[in-house]
Structure 1
Amino acid sequence: MEMPPWLGPGSAPVRGGWHERRATNAFVANAFVTNAFANGYDGAMTAHPTAPRSRRERPAKPALTREGIIATTVELMRAEGLERVTMRRLAKELDTGPASLYVYVRNMAELHAAVLDELLGEVDLSPAGADGDWHDRLVRILTSYTSVLFEYPGLAQSALVARLFGKHYLNLVEALLALLDEGGIEPDRAAWLIDLLLQFATATAAEHAHRTPGDTPQSEDDWRALASVVRDVSPRTHPHIAALGPRLLSGSPQDRLAWGFDVLLAGARHTPLPEVLSSSPADFPEDPAVASEASEPSEASEAKSRVDPGD
């Protein structure tokens, strides 16, 4: 009688043949499995120690919210710097996928703007309602704004191009406009001056803030190198720089900042406005960038204008 190949050499039929041998083996195997269940056999039946944990056994994760994403971004920025904050890094911290974050923020630029607005809540706006000279109180608020940006170097640079519209930014602008109104600055002048004041403060913070945590020594080296160049410049090739010398780098950052605000305020009082502001606009203007693009002729229109109408 021919035996099936899985019996192998030497596996002769027992008693009633190899069919009975196969049945006996099956019975033994079944009995082994039954005993394993009954006795709690750990070797074969216990889950592998590295097996994924059932979601039912995990504590529920906090629901994703825009506020939670912003708060976590602020924590990461303070610990590692804004340059290290990416959607992937943020998603890992929140135990989710990067795609989930885009439900709440469209891109990194919007996230940076939201984080900046959150931090603007640290700006001291109390001078707006205090007593004293309106000019001094205005400078105090602008100095506080600059100091907040100075604490977060990457954010200060991002603020140069960010489009802000959050509640803390609106509170800042409202406080500054109230003080300009108190100081007798005409509304049209104040509308443009507020932009210049915040640009100057933001640029100052971005220029002097350290790019990453702990890079102060490099910044000091850069400053010494600049001072050396100004000191050693040739009067023959750069006579005005040589004449002013150390005065170009004189003064404390605080004094320079306050003087810059004074220059802008004084200039706004006496510099004529363009005629475009002679009357109040009825509607909000378009985005200047969009309007500029729209005013430029397209390649198709230019090509069409080059075609002779008689052709």
Structure 2
Amino acid sequence: MTNKPTRTVVSRRARPAKEPLSKELIVETALGLVKSEGSSGLSMRKIAKALDTGPSSLYVYVTNQQELSAYVLDAGLAEVTFSSSDSGTWQSRLLDVLDSYLMVLFDAPGIAELALTTIPVGHNSLGITEYMLQQLNEAGVGATSAAWGIDLLTLYVSSVAFEQTSRNQVGTTLQAVKASYQSLDAKRYPLLMGLREEMTSADGKERFRWGLEVILQGILQRKNEV
């Protein structure tokens, strides 16, 4: 008589317990997916799969994908750093926080896209805006100019980050851009041909800072006009 193989029964109680579902866990999981997969990671189905649950379970904690996007953007912006109020000038503090903002978006392409398409209403987002308004207030910029100026500065930073990360994803290099200018018809595009070196000159950080300073000078020139 042969012995039947024994089966080991594993009690459900012996399995590792899943972390209870919560808004914080959903946002943390979604942020990780956005960082690794870009904006395509911000899918209720993907997030639910990563959490070993169903998409409908997520709606207990977030109203819709738009609300989740705002939470994820705000969580990503937690990494933006600020200089202390007694560090440097108001202008250097403002430019430094915008540099940090760019780096956070650049390191996570999906966050850069969210920054362009999502209304920033979380504590981290509002904290960044408050800090920048403090710097413009110190410079004597009026209320409307400061409010509109902050909008313009953050839009510029988000656009630069999204453009660069998108180019990296599709493999567009600076050499390819330069080559396209070299092949232009000089008769049709005389000014472009004459400035083809300048069009791609300097590194990205230098051009980025130049753009910020140009916008900032415009804000200062019209600081009390609107």
Task: Give the superposition deviation at 1:56.
Answer: 5.8
Report how far residue 200 of structure 1 moved: 0.3
Distance 2:26 2:158 in 1: 25
Does 2:75 align with 1:75?
no
One-letter amino acid of the counterpart of residue 146, structure 2: A
Alignment of 1:85-234 (within 5 A): 85-125=42-82, 127-210=83-166, 215=169, 218-220=171-173, 223-234=174-185
Question: Comparing 250-259 with 193-202, which one deviates more in the overlay?
Answer: 250-259
SS at 1:219's partner residue?
A: coil
- How far is 1:198 from its partner? 0.3
Count of aligned pairs between the two proteins: 224
**Structure 2 Cα separation of the partners of residues 85 and 192 of structure 1:** 30
Unaligned runs of 5+ residues in structure 1 are 1-40, 278-311
Q: 2:209 aligns with which of 255, 258, 270?
A: 258
Q: Return 263-272 or 96-105, whichever deviates more.
A: 263-272
Whole-angstrom CA distance in 2 between matches of 1:58 and 1:272: 63
- Give the direction of change, closer, same or farther, for the CA distance of 1:178–1:270 in structure 2 (3 Å limit): same
2:197 aligned with 1:240, yes or no?
A: no
Shift of 1:54: 7.1
* Contact residue 117 and residue 167 of structure 1 kept, 8 A: yes
1:58 Cα deviation after fit: 4.8
Counterparts in 2 of 1:163 and 1:146: CA distance versus 1, 3 Å:
same
Partner of 1:286: none
Residues 231 and 246 in structure 1, CA contact (< 8 A), matched pair in contact too: no
Equivalent-residue separation in structure 2 for 1:77 and 1:158 (angstroms): 10
Mapped partners of 1:235, 1:160: distance in 2: 36
Deviations 1:24-80 (A, max 9, x none): xxxxxxxxxxxxxxxxx979xx99x8x9x8756655432211111111122233344
- Could you tell me the TM-score, scaled by structure 1's length? 0.65
Counterpart amino acid of residue 233 in structure 1? L
Cα distance in 2, alignment partners of residues 135 and 68 from structure 1: 38
SS in 1 for 2:195: helix
